[in-house]
Amino acid sequence: MTDAALCAQIAPPRIGERLADALLSGRGIWPAVPAIIVLMVVAVVPFAILLSLGFSDIEISRGDIVSQTFSLTHLTNALTDPLYWITFQRSLNLALTTTALCVLFGYPVAYLFLVGGKWTKRLILILTIAPLLTSGIVRTYAWLVILGGRGVVNQTLMGMGLIDQPLRIMNTHWAVLIGMVQIHLPVMILPLIAVMSRNDSQIMEAAENLGASRLGTLRTVILPLSVPGIGTGAALVFTLSYTTFVVPQLLGGGNYLNAATMIYEQVVFSLEWSKGSVSSLLLMVSCLIVLVCIALATNHFTRWTKGREA
Amino acid sequence: MKVLRKTSLGDALGIGLILAVAIFSLLLLVAPSIIVVIISFDTRAFVSFPPEGFTLKWYSEVFKQGELVEAMLNSLQVGITVTILCIVLGVPTALACVRGRFRGTTALSVFVLVPHMVPGIVLGVAVLFAGALVGVSPSIWLQSISITVFILAVMVRTVQSRLMRLDAALDEAAANLRATSFQSLRTVTFPLLMPAILAGAVFTFVEGFDNLSVAIFTHGFRDRPLPVELLSLVQFTSSPLVAAVSGVQIVLAIVALILVSMSIGLDKVNE
Amino acid sequence: MMHGPTGPSTKVVSTAPVLSIGAVSKSFGSVRVLEDCSLEIAEGEIVTLLGPSGCGKTTLLRCIAGFWDADGGSISIDGQEVAPVPVNRRPVGVVFQSYALFPHMTVAQNVGYALRMSGAPKLKADETVASALATVSLTGFEDRYPAQLSGGQQQRVAIARVLVMEPRVLLLDEPFNALDAKLRGSMQVELRQLIKTLGLTSIFVTHDQEEALTMSDRIAVMRAGRIEQVASPDEIFDRPATAYVADFIGVSNFWDAEAQGGQVALPDGKTIETDLSGPVRVMARPHNLRLAPPGDGSWTGKVTFHRNVGPLIEYHVESSVGGAIRVAAMRQERARPIADRAEVSITVIDPANCAVYSGE
């Protein structure tokens, strides 16, 4: 290699190349700009508009807003309306019960995943991920088939001679609850599995070597270590079951009003924009409050994850 | 030690109870879908159990119903649009979040997550109202872009977690070996990200195809997507037709499951 | 093959350094990781940056490669400042600690990568790849993927991959870390011979003193961002410039003493010359000390422990001066080693081989 060739090799780059690199290399914020713009236009601005609609009186003529003035009437109306209180309370009860039952039924599956062999683990993964890839309506429809008047449960019970009239399960609180738990169970199991497979398997062996029974190991070692997974799972299950629309609509028979179905009716059938906005905002805020509580509780039980000074 | 200590009865019972609940839960997860598939082959015109015969007529019926076929095609279009938009918007965003050298990379990754944390129906209502204010009425396109915004976080997170696990030295090696930043992105980073992009594509496609919470407010009145069509069908029909549609969807889910397990592996879904 | 008739190592005969580093410094936030580092490397020389983790050796390497920019000072190759030259145009080849082989490319694709990126014609590139693989004895492995190779083979692919660029300087970042201990020894010798045959000017980063002593023409010992001493392996070992270097390389005994009138008195009664005065620290290597029966000297102690180290026996002696002193003696066949707890006296074999550093 000659000196001239070497100089050419280590010459500074051309401006154009530098520019293309700066835009495409991912060191700057540029690659994210399209996504940021879309999120601004389709999420942030709509939320701002939702907020403004909830706090104003509007006059609509032929689909256009003629006037808009600031007002708290819709909020105070909602907060003093007993129907709101009953509906939100029902949603909250349903979601909290669902969350608790999902922990109760999901945790043993995660434990089985922890102690099970390779094929058990694989089977559990398939059975929990497959429902997530299946339509919620399809999964809810299955419960119509099972719990309906001529459904699996009634046919079985009648066939065994335990009852002679079909039980009315559909369109009750129980039908909704069963459907909710089954549909949200995978969302609970996955974070639990994630947090459990992160733990060192030798910790369990250490506990047993130190004389703990299997139940004792579960209670004193595995359970405390999996609290973060319970927290994540509970937050996800709560958000989904608190705001779900499909299950109450289908298994509740159209007259089981929860917050989500109420918003649907206000927005789509009665076209009450301000009411719909206020309900949506209340749903979001109340959901957030519960999520903060879950996060605080999780934090309290996982103080050991904090730094040394704690 | 171990040999000397006998397992106590209480311990065995407790563990047995836990494992029994686990098996019950696993059955609970899978049984309803199996029952639906069985029902879909029933010869009777109403839903009952156990079935009294075997026929494929409900499946052929599905593809004879103009509205259902149209709804499926609409959902297919939404699914594909959402997937493409999520790849185009999400992959560069994940790159900026992980590789970015600007202040606010953390803020950016949180910002992308926010629409996903908001309940779907709230996002749907907000987009519907905002659109109405500026004169954009619900349509298949409004539906697609809204679901994109809702599910973008999943694509970003999937790609992000893979990107964070890539050896940073690979990129430096490429640079040392004469590659420009763009060349290194094209020849090293992208090929290694492909499994994550594929897995993200499966999840975003399924969301685009099946989403109801956002779609119910934003879909066009003439282009009803499958979930909306199904919702009314389930409420007002009692034939095994819906079971057959469900059967088709379950097959799609199995295909999706296989794709995910081949791309990133099922145990990575959590990240 | 890399250096045909026009190759730099055979043709260019000059005394000018290939790489010169002048007063380079670098900080991350308020942490100073490199301070005033200067080093010149001649054509075909292998220089090792040696130090504990966090001493700045990898930072200096990354500044030379261009992954990071130095805050101050200059780095030049063949007299040309490289600061404005971006990473992908520096005539520098890096062998990474993890090797950073592209897992989705075959061996041939990995090795040909640099040629494809700089747009070399395909025929010529294939030829170059084949001869680079021949150089590292990996002919026949073209279509394997990195995951199908052993650690040693991966290392050779990583070297072949930078060889095709004909770099002026080869940078090796702890290249033996990923190999198991047994393989390291033979790989070190092999790698040194390969680099010497190719005549590549190289910088080698390690925290392992044995590796440094095997691989290098010269060693630069680094401490907290500074270069403490640059010298040949022999000189570093025999005449460490500072107490730190003495402590870091090989086994050393230290004790405090007082310098008076250009002389320091050793505990066994001998003396050594020094330019220092006042409190000093004296260093003696274990093989410069000898054990004798207790009555023979004024420096006494008691053996606490002994062990066999190859042909030597190393005694740990709790002594009146300097605390725990280590003494090495040749092992004699059929002779019994001195028993633990035995009273002994210690003498210095050659005072001239002791080093004196100013006391802190």
Put simply, the answer to whether A145 touches B36 (Cβ < 8 Å) is yes
Chains touching B (at least 3 CB pairs under 8 A) are A, C
Whether A292 contacts chain B with CB within 8 A: no
Q: Pick from C313, C319, C306, C310: which is nearest to C346 by CA?
A: C319
Give pLDDT tens digits for B80-121.
999 999 999 999 999 999 888 888 888 998 999 889 988 899
Output the pLDDT for position C192: 93
Neighbours of B69 (CB within 10 A): 13
Q: Mean pLDDT throughout A247-258?
A: 83
Closest approach of A31 to chain B, Cα-based (Å): 5
A and C: number of Cβ contacts within 8 A: 28
DSSP reduced 3-state for C163: helix
Between residues C6 and C24, which one has the greater pLDDT?
Answer: C24
Q: Which of A3, A10, A15, A19 to mutate to test the interface with C (most CBs of C within 10 A)?
A: A10
Q: Mean pLDDT throughout A279-297?
A: 93
Give pLDDT tens digits for B130-170.
998 888 889 999 999 999 999 999 999 999 999 998 988 99
Amino acid at C239: R
Compute the Cα dihedral for A254, A258, A262, A264 and give only its sign: negative
Structure tokens given for A257: 């009003």
Output the pLDDT for position A4: 40
On average, the pLDDT of chain C sits at 88
Measured CA to CA, the distance from residue B39 to residue B245 in angstroms comes to: 11
User: For A159-213, what is the HEC assignment?
Assistant: HCCCCCCCCCCCCCHHHHHHHHHHHHHHHHHHHHHHHHHHCCHHHHHHHHHCCCC
Put simply, the answer to whether B121 touches A243 (Cβ < 8 Å) is yes
Closest approach of A108 to chain B, Cα-based (Å): 5
Q: Which of A1, A2, A10 sits opposite C82 (nearest CB)?
A: A10
Interface of A with B in 18-37 (CB under 8 A): 20-21, 24-32, 34-36
Amino acid at C240: P
Q: Pick from C17, C162, C166, C164: which is nearest to C80 by CA?
A: C17
Give pLDDT tens digits for B9-42.
888 898 999 999 999 999 999 988 888 888 888 8
Whether B128 contacts chain A with CB within 8 A: yes
For residue C217, the number of C-alpha atoms closer than 13 Å in the C-beta half-sphere is 16
Closest approach of B21 to chain A, Cα-based (Å): 6
C-alpha pair distances (Å), A93 with each of A97, A136, A174, A175:
6, 21, 13, 15
- The strand pair at C323-330 and C278-284 is best described as unpaired
A and B: number of Cβ contacts within 8 A: 304
Interface of C with B in 26-65 (CB under 8 A): 65
Between residues A274 and B153, which one has the greater pLDDT?
Answer: B153
Whether residue C140 has pLDDT greater than 90: yes
Between residues A306 and C63, which one has the greater pLDDT?
Answer: C63
Adjacent-strand bridge partners of A61 = A64
Put simply, the answer to whether B169 touches C117 (Cβ < 8 Å) is no
Interface of C with B in 88-107 (CB under 8 A): 88-90, 92-94, 96-98, 100-104
Measured CA to CA, the distance from residue A263 to residue A255 in angstroms comes to: 14
Does the ipTM surpass 0.90? no
